[in-house]
Amino acid sequence: MPQMSPLNWLILFIFFTMIFIFINLLNYFILNYKFSSKNEMQKINNKLNWKW
């Protein structure tokens, strides 16, 4: 029935939007970023001691 087609499109849109949001939430909470500490940054800065 063509009268039901807009409802089907709406359900599909909501379904795929929910999947998209779910995948983004998984990516956000699963990935662990490792931040470098200040000690590591100081070691890198000490290596760049230029002698002109």
Residue length, the chain?
A: 52
At 35 the three-state DSSP class reads coil
pLDDT at 18 over 90: yes
Instruction: Indicate the pLDDT class of residue 3, thresholds 50, 70 and 90.
Output: confident
Structure tokens at 16: 């795929």
Phi then psi dihedrals of residue 35, to 5 deg: -90, 140
In angstroms, the CA 37 to CA 26 distance is 26
Instruction: Indicate the pLDDT class of residue 31, thresholds 50, 70 and 90.
Output: confident
Structure tokens at 3: 């009268």
Mean predicted confidence (pLDDT) in 24-34: 86
Instruction: Indicate the pLDDT class of residue 47, thresholds 50, 70 and 90.
Output: low
pLDDT at 2 over 80: no
